Structure 1
Amino acid sequence: MSRNIDPLSVEEASGGEEEEDKRTEEEQRGAAGEWSRETQVPVKVLRAHGDTVTAARFCFSDRCILSCSSDYTAVLWDVESCRPLRMFDGVHGKTITECALIPNSNRMVTVSWDKKMVVWDLETGQIVWKSRQVGLLTSCSVSSDGRLIVCAADPQNGVYISDAASGQTQHHVSDHHRSTITRCRFDPQGQQVASVSADRSIKLWDLKVQKTIVSINSNHGNVVSDCCFTSNGHFMCTASWDKTLKLWDLQAGGFRSHGGTSLQRAHEGSVSSCSFSADANLLVSGSYDRTVALWDTSPLCLSLIMKGHSDWVTDVSISADGKLVASASKDGTVRLWDIENMEEIPQVMEKRRTEGSGIHILKCAECGKPFPVSRLQTSELLTQCVFCRLKSPSRYRPQPPPVM
């Protein structure tokens, strides 16, 4: 019996049924709640979906994961046992594109290509309410206070903002982008909605003034597939089919003239997803090259590539304590990666040794000369050396620390 070797796998190529049986046994143990050591990073494999898993998100203080799929179902998983606690089905008739927990409640929302937005009670599995929008729903997000839900519709390229308790539409922004909106996200304060699109733009729509306050040409070379905020809302990251990610300093505003800071050379395929850790020290990204990448944001460098999925990685998220990463895939599984002891992995140890000074060398966007940075700085500082910055003083002023 021949074995197809995944060219992206960290395993050494070896043949025979014995090795195939061993790998299957490892994965079965992982699915039963034990950490498999088939890769550099301990991993558990969660199996219940019968088709592409489109999203996987931690919830309930990292004790559970919510996932949804092209098989028209959503699943609430127990992280410890890696077994489904409840499956939600029988309502959607097409791919569920995204799901999200509604904070301060025991509810979640799902949106689908069948044009339905559905809010479920996670304890009983019952439907709280459902609504039908005009277009295919491609993404959803819930405000941090749990009061509002935003979803994106295609081909109208618009967003609907609804009351989470009743489903009543509060705002409808039509023709918000020139092409499909791939992701919409509330900022951490719940005051703005960020959206990214196949038109390669980024927009921030303000709920108070009810208009677009920021519109950015991302300079990505292809579809912008995802976006995420740091917990303080100062930085946003975008992922793109151009195989890169970009970091945007929304507080300083330097992105208006200098663009974002590119993170590249990690993925060989389109980047599908991105997510910050709660403390913003880590950034995780997923790609159609079947890999999950971990980035250290101080300095801005790649720490680790995790391999194991047999098809596209469609979504990633990181636990609130920064110890676990969840990845969803077209291979029908959710993988749970234990990164708590990441520093002990030889690949990461070597990076820490060679980059232990915390110095990252960048190329000045104006004069082209290399210059060092030692921490997560503003987009303007990251794109210009000190000499070019001195020639054109910035309007940026340091902000006072938050009140504790």
Structure 2
Amino acid sequence: MSLNDQGCLLKTKPSEEENMWDSERLSQIPFRVLQAHSGAVTSCHFLFEDTRILTSSHDGTTKLWDFITSSPICEYTDDHSGPISECNPTRDNKRMVTSSYDKTVKLWDLETGKVLWSVSVDGLVTSCNVSGDAKHVVCGVDMDNGICIIDCATASKVMYIKDHHTSTVTRCCFDPESQRICSVSSDTSVKLWDVTARRTTIQIKGAHNNVISDCCFSFNGRSLCTASWDKGLKIWDVNTGDFRHRGADHLFSAHTGSVSSCVFSQDASVLLSGGYDRTIVLWDVQSKYKKLVLKGHADWVLDVALSASKKWILSSAKDSTVRLWNLENYEEIPAVIENKKAIGSRLSKCEECEKPFPVAHWDNANVIAKCFFCRLPTPSNTMPSLPAVPQTSSCN
């Protein structure tokens, strides 16, 4: 096996391919099962242009996997004395931060496997995230329902916001510009903290009807997605604040159980979610419909990740496994095609005349970027002239 220029697996002999990939009967999607953890796998990430995989677990370890062999090549262990709640890599993939129920947050060098610093807090650390500029780490602390911001260079606590929520902070993350921190909680609220102004700029009370388990920004920072135990997902326009008068975009019937995780693709065209119903759902963001449902885990799905190419999905679960799903040919699955046809068409904006025109869900929006009239060989903006009516003589 080898990688092509896009970091994707090249096909080899059929017998070898069959040995490396299984196929879930219900989803008809090839997948691999990665097994090396002895506890629930709490987070998963693609690294190094999708050639490596990073995972963390309740077994107290973090592992770096080779994409091709699906086997661990490095284990970061013996430093946390409790379950790891999350791991999060820096954008350059040189370092990672881990949070644990042992009340510590640690920054690691991914190449050497050494801990660069460790910071202790007063409660269980439920979540951690490193800013895009790699200058700060934010973590959620169970004890005071707060968040702690740590300076990566000095390992000092820049700010500790006590009682930021009225209940446990379940997830916190930076926006792509490293200017805002989103936190969600068991109190069903969403808060955006401005790092420079040092205050909450957006607060959404009762954002969901139950515990909010996860949140993620789109890569352009315009949208925020929240996942909840109310079985739903919501997408908020936090760039313009449009949600204030029209609410959030609700992805209905997301899962049959609590939703545990969510992540946008880099172009924000699709969203990936994982749930306690043991499924992974791939969503079309614009049309808000399910493109694909993946089944196979034996227990709760705790985290999901989508490759930059959108050809691979990672899912980690309470069953102590990680699954790598191959999406290259999923559009050809009959069930996917029928689902698109049932949904109907969506509106797209013509890149030439800028007028809306209908596009079927199974059409490639990157190819069909112009409306029918602008795609004509010699489009005309004027009405064709009517043929002349022949003159007839009148009868007396």
TM class by shorter-chain length? 0.7 to 0.9
Give secondary structure in 1 for the equivalent of 2:331.
helix
Q: Give the percent of matched residue pairs that are identical in Structure 1 and Structure 2.
A: 47
Cα deviation, residue 374, structure 1: 7.3
Task: Give me the whole-angstrom Cα distance separating, in 2, the residues matched to 1:88 and 1:216.
Answer: 38
Name the CA distance, whole Å, in 2 between partners of 1:33 and 1:149. Answer: 41
TM-score (norm 1): 0.79
Residue number in structure 2 paired with 1:17: none
Task: State the partner residue of 2:328.
Answer: 340
Which AA in structure 2 matches 1:337? W
> Is 1:96 aligned to residue 87 of structure 2?
no
* In 2, Cα distance between equivalents of 1:197 and 1:348: 35
Q: 1:34, 1:44 within 8 Å by CA — same for their partners in 2?
A: yes
The CA distance in 1 between the partners of 2:179 and 2:115, in whole Å, is 28
**Does the CA-based 8 Å contact 2:24-2:295 persist in structure 1?**
no
1:82-137 C-alpha deviation (Å, 9 max, x unpaired): 11011111111111000011233521111001011111121121111111111110
Q: 1:358 aligns to what SS in structure 2?
A: strand
- Is 1:37 the counterpart of 2:30? The answer is no
1:219/1:160 CA distance change after superposition, 3 Å: closer
- Equivalent residue for 1:225? 213
Report the Cα offset of residue 352 of structure 1.
2.1
Residue 358 of structure 1 corresponds to 346
Q: 2:145 aligns with which of 133, 157, 160?
A: 157
Structure 1 CA distance, aligned partners of 2:248 and 2:213? Answer: 16
Are positions 1:75 and 2:58 aligned together? no
Amino acid in structure 2 at the alignment position of 1:37: S
Matched, 1:204 2:204: no
Q: CA deviation at 1:258?
A: 3.1
Q: CA deviation at 1:300?
A: 1.4
Q: Distance in 2 between matches of 1:245 and 1:269?
A: 12
Match of 1:52 in 2: 40
Counterpart contact for 2:138–2:150, Cα < 8 Å: yes
| Change in 2 beyond 3 A, CA 1:374/1:182 | farther
Distance 1:340 1:248 in 2: 29
1:133-212 pair list within 5 angstroms: 133-212=121-200
Q: Deviations over 1:158-184 (max 9, x none)?
A: 111112233211122111100001100
**Match status 1:245 vs 2:233:** yes
Q: TM-score, normalised by structure 2?
A: 0.81
Runs of 4+ in 1 over 6 A off after TM superposition: none
1:61–1:37 CA distance, 2 compared to 1 (3 A): same
The answer to which structure has the higher helix fraction is 1
Task: Find the residue that maps to 2:97 and give its secondary structure.
Answer: strand
For residues 116-135 of structure 1, the aligned pairs below 5 Å read: 116-135=104-123
- SS of residue in 2 equivalent to 1:343: helix
Are the equivalent residues in 1 in contact too, given 2:47–2:93 (CA < 8 A)?
no
Paired residue for 1:397? none
Larger Cα-atom Rg: 2
Residues 224-247 of structure 1: per-residue CA shift (max 9 Å, x gap) = 000111110111110000000001
Paired AA for residue 299 in structure 1: S
Q: CA deviation at 1:218?
A: 4.1
AA aligned opposite 1:325: I
How far apart are residue 210 of structure 1 and its match?
0.5
Which range moves more in the overlay, 341-350 or 328-337? 341-350
AA matched with 2:136: L
Deviation at 1:185, TM superposition (A): 0.6
Q: In structure 1, give the amino acid aligned to 2:182.
A: A
Is the 1:219–1:259 contact (alpha carbons within 8 Å) kept by the matching residues of 2?
Answer: no
**Which amino acid is the alignment partner of residue 53 of structure 1?**
V
The residue that corresponds to 2:300 in the other structure is 312
Question: C-alpha separation between the residues in 1 aligned to 2:309 and 2:297?
Answer: 24
Q: Give 5+ residue unaligned stretches, structure 2.
A: 1-15, 349-356, 360-396
1:282 aligned residue: 270
The one-letter amino acid paired with 1:38 is E
Q: CA deviation at 1:296?
A: 0.8
Matches within 5 A, 1:288-299: 288-299=276-287
**Cα pair 1:51 1:71 within 8 Å, conserved:** yes
Please give the per-residue CA displacement for 1:297-321, whole angstroms capped at 9, x wherever unaligned.
1211111110000000011111111
Deviations 1:338-364 (A, max 9, x none): 11222111111112223341269xxxx
CA RMSD in angstroms comes to 2.0
Cα drift, residue 254 of structure 1: 2.3
Once residues 146 and 195 of structure 1 are traced to their aligned partners in structure 2, the CA distance between those partners, rounded to angstroms, is 19
